[in-house]
Amino acid sequence: MMKHKLKAIDFFSGAGGLTYGLRMAGIQVMAGIDNDKICKTTYEKNNPGSIFLERDITQYSPEELTKDLKLKKRDDALLLAGCAPCQYWSIIQTTKEKSKKTKDLILDFQKYVEYLLPGFVLVENVPGISSKKGSPMASFIKAIEKLGYVFMDHHVVDMSEYGIPQKRRRFTLLASRVAEVSLPKANGKKKTVKDILGEKNGFPRVPAGTKDLSKKIHTTAGLSEKNLKRLKMTPPDGGDRTKWQSKKNYALACFSSDSNKFSDTYGRMWWNRPSPTITTKFYSISNGRFAHPEEDRGISLREGASLQTFPKSYEFVSTNTADIAKMIGNAVPPDFAKILGERIVESLNNGTKSYD
């Protein structure tokens, strides 16, 4: 059977995690689209041949995209991938004010599907977008079904079941109007923090506050004297703040009424478990269980990137720690993107329909 070269456009591409993974699967990613200009250099440096379009898709029209990339409508070998930053629908209890303006980005992505009618559609998002009341996902699914995307599979997956070394639950959807497609089954290849971090994996011991100006960015956040003492009192390999929460001068006032509430905060990762979800604040121990399993520091930028399955050669271009952490935390893990990409390529090449 003749094989067909799949092309893709990565919407809300960020620094290129999805693009990198799709490229590993043999897909030609024509462009990444994102309105965050901080990501442009990182995206293009690591994904040569894929261009970064700095665009706001609420203002950028499908007609303009079609002209800019010389696309054709109803291209059966075209994939549109949309991983919109919809934190408004996150199940994490945080203020939603800042994320209100992005809560319906999936419907802006829908306009491109309606106009271009690609062969394949991929969506990845926070779990809550498929379950919370008022979410636009049900509307999106209904709309593309009417467009002829009769082959569809979607559910919330835990990426740790696919060999990604972190507990990362995401709503994932694959749809096609040209060939049967389904989400890949969990491969059972569990990876843990021990498989990724530590000296044997190329991460030398470093103290808190290390500034690594090399491309490796084994940079760690500084800690106040009190926080360093708190971490020294936190047992290795999964210890948490309950060991010092009741101690005078060390207790956190915000948790004084319930010492077990949010016990992951200031906690250490376990060696023999996947890490918690790598968020945009993973470099700070006050934002979750982001302390190193045994060293008295938070995990470094590169350690976070490695838990996200970025190769050590992936260069994050910025001098700002928060910007790099945001690029890493917002990304689709490249190894998971590769698994999805391979599934789509397989679907295209095994389809019964003829492709022009």
Give the catalytic positions in this structure: 86
CA proximity to 179, closest of 154, 150, 143:
150
- 285-294 burial, b at 16+ Cβ within 10 Å, e below that, comes to bebbbbbbbb
* CA–CA separation, 210 and 299 (whole Å): 11
| Phi, psi dihedral angles at 199 (to 5 degrees) | -60, -35
Helix (H, G, I), strand (E, B) or coil at 335: helix
- Let me know: does 340 contact 120? Beta carbons within 8 Å: no
| Contacts of 343 by beta carbon, 8 Å cutoff, 6+ apart | 174, 181, 182, 183, 184
Task: Retrieve residue 98's tokens.
Answer: 């800042």
* CA–CA separation, 113 and 125 (whole Å): 17
Q: What number of CA atoms fall less than 13 Å from residue 271's CA on the CB side?
A: 10
- Let me know: does 127 contact 154? Beta carbons within 8 Å: no
CA distances from 144 to 6, 91, 121, 176, 279 (A): 20, 25, 9, 9, 30
* CA–CA separation, 348 and 79 (whole Å): 10
**What are the residue ranges of helices labelled H in the chain?**
17-24, 40-46, 62-69, 105-116, 137-146, 193-196, 225-233, 301-307, 321-329, 334-350
| Contacts of 123 by beta carbon, 8 Å cutoff, 6+ apart | 81, 82, 83, 106, 109, 140, 154, 171, 172, 173
Neighbours of 72 (CB within 10 A): 9
CA proximity to 12, closest of 33, 40, 37, 41:
33
CA proximity to 268, closest of 299, 301, 246, 314:
299
